[in-house]
C-alpha cells in the first residue's frame, strides 16, 4: 500500500539555496523519509481518517479499519454497516464523509485518471465539491497520493507553527506572509512541508528559541591553521563539521573529541600526520554520503579526477554530480575533497578558495 517518496538530491540542494534558515533546518534534521499511497481512493479515505487526530490515534483506527474491510474499494465500503465502521473507531461524521467519497467514485463524479492532466488548483476545486473533503484534505491528497511537488498548506497547523518558529514570527504567518513563503520555496514547497513538519515532530519549537540555538547545542572548537581559521563542531561524540571561516562565531565549547581533533590537525599541518582517526557524522543525501566515503579513501598526496570518483562509486556518468557533492562537503580536510581535480589536470574549484586547495595539495606533496 505504501511506497517511498523519492526525494532527489537536486531538490534538497534547490530548497537549501532558497533560504538560509531552511538550509540550517535541513542540515539539522538530515534526510527525511516519507511514504505515499499509490491508490488514490485509498489515499483519500486515509486523509479522512487522519483528519484532526494525532498520528498515533489515527494510525490505530486506520489499522482497525483496514483489517475490518478486506479490500478498500468503494463498493465494499458502501456495503459495510455504519455500526461496523463505528466499531473501528470512526466517528459518524467521518463515516459519512468516507461513504460520500465512495459514492462519488462509484458514480464517476471523480475520475482519478483525469487528474494527471489537471493542475493542483483544478484538482482541489474538483475534490472540495464532495462533502467531507476540505482544502487541507485535498492538499494532503496531492502530496501523499499524487506526489505533487509544490504544495505548502496554509490549512496545516504543523506547517504554520513550523514557519512561526523557524522565522521568529510573533504570531502565525498572515495570508500575505504565507504566500511570500510559498513563492520563496517554489518549486520545492512539498519538500519544505516535510522539513517544517519535522520542527514539531522533533519538538524544536518547545526545546529551542530558534534554529540557531539548535546548532549551538554542538560543541565548538577553533584552530588557527597556516591558511586560515578553522571551526570544528561535534555532537554526540562525532565530528559534524569542519570549515574555514573569517572569524570566531561562538565561544569555544570543548570536548575530548575536539581536543583530539585539534591535535590531529596540528600534526597534519606540521607534516607529521597523513590520516585522521576521528569519528565522523556523514549526514548528506545517499549519493553525497557515497561520494564522501569514497573521498576518504583517496591516499595522502594523491589526487583523483571527478570521473575517477564517479567510476569508483559505480556511476561513470555522475561526474557533475560528484562535483556538486564535493562542493557540499561540510568536513573539509578530514574528508579530503581537495584531492579531487579535473580530468585534464586542472585543479578545479574549492569552496574555501582555490588558493587553499593549491596549498593543501602542495603541502601533502612536500611531505610524501
Which residues form the catalytic set?
Answer: 337
Contact 7, 35 (CB under 8 A): no
C-alpha–C-alpha distance, residues 165 and 196, integer Å: 10
C-alpha cell at 172: 502565525
232 SS3 class: strand
CA proximity to 366, closest of 213, 226, 258 = 226
C-alpha–C-alpha distance, residues 289 and 329, integer Å: 9
Contact 102, 77 (CB under 8 A): yes
Give the C-alpha distances (Å, rounded to integers) separating 332 from 173, 273, 335, 338, 339: 38, 16, 6, 8, 11
180 SS3 class: helix
Q: What is the DSSP string of 285-346?
A: -HHHHHHHHHHHTSPTT--EEHHHHHHHTT-TT-HHHHHHHHHT-SBTTTS-GGGEE-TTS-
Amino acid at each position: 500500500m505504501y511506497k517511498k517518496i523519492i526525494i532527489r538530491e537536486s531538490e534538497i540542494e534547490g530548497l537549501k539555496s532558497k533560504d538560509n534558515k531552511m538550509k540550517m533546518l535541513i542540515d539539522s534534521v538530515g534526510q527525511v523519509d516519507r511514504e505515499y499511497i499509490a491508490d488514490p481512493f485509498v489515499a483519500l479515505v486515509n486523509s479522512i481518517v487522519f483528519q484532526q487526530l494525532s498520528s498515533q490515534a489515527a494510525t490505530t483506527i486506520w489499522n482497525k479499519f483496514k483489517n475490518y474491510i478486506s479490500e478498500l474499494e468503494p463498493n465494499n465500503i458502501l456495503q459495510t454497516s455504519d455500526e461496523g465502521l463505528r466499531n473501528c473507531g470512526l466517528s459518524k461524521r467521518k463515516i459519512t464523509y468516507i461513504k460520500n467519497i465512495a459514492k462519488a467514485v462509484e458514480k464517476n463524479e471523480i475520475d482519478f485518471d483525469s487528474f494527471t492532466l489537471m493542475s493542483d488548483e483544478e484538482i482541489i476545486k474538483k475534490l472540495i465539491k464532495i462533502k467531507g473533503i476540505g482544502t487541507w484534505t485535498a492538499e494532503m491528497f496531492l502530496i501523499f497520493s499524487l506526489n505533487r511537488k509544490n504544495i505548502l498548506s496554509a490549512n496545516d497547523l504543523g506547517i504554520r507553527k513550523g514557519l512561526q518558529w523557524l522565522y521568529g514570527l510573533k504570531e502565525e504567518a498572515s495570508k500575505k506572509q504565507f504566500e511570500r513563503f510559498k513563492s520563496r520555496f517554489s518549486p520545492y514547497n512539498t519538500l519544505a512541508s516535510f522539513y517544517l513538519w519535522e520542527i514539531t515532530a522533533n519538538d524544536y519549537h518547545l526545546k529551542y528559541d530558534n534554529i540557531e540555538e539548535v546548532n549551538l547545542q554542538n560543541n565548538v572548537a577553533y584552530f588557527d591553521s597556516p591558511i586560515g581559521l578553522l571551526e570544528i563542531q561535534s555532537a554526540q561524540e562525532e565530528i559534524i563539521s569542519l570549515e574555514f571561516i573569517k572569524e570566531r562565531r561562538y565561544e569555544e565549547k570543548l570536548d575530548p573529541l575536539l581536543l583530539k581533533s585539534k591535535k590531529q590537525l596540528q600534526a597534519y599541518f606540521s607534516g607529521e600526520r597523513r590520516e585522521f582517526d576521528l569519528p565522523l557524522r556523514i549526514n548528506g543525501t545517499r549519493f553525497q554520503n557515497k561520494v564522501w566515503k569514497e573521498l576518504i579513501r583517496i591516499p595522502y598526496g594523491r589526487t583523483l579526477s571527478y570521473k575517477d570518483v564517479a567510476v569508483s562509486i559505480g556511476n561513470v556518468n555522475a561526474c557533475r554530480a560528484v562535483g556538486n557533492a564535493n562542493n557540499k562537503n561540510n568536513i573539509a580536510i578530514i574528508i579530503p575533497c581537495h584531492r579531487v581535480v579535473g580530468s585534464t589536470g586542472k585543479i578545479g574549484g574549492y569552496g574555501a578558495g582555490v588558493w587553499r586547495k593549491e596549498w593543501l595539495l602542495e603541502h601533502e606533496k612536500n611531505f610524501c
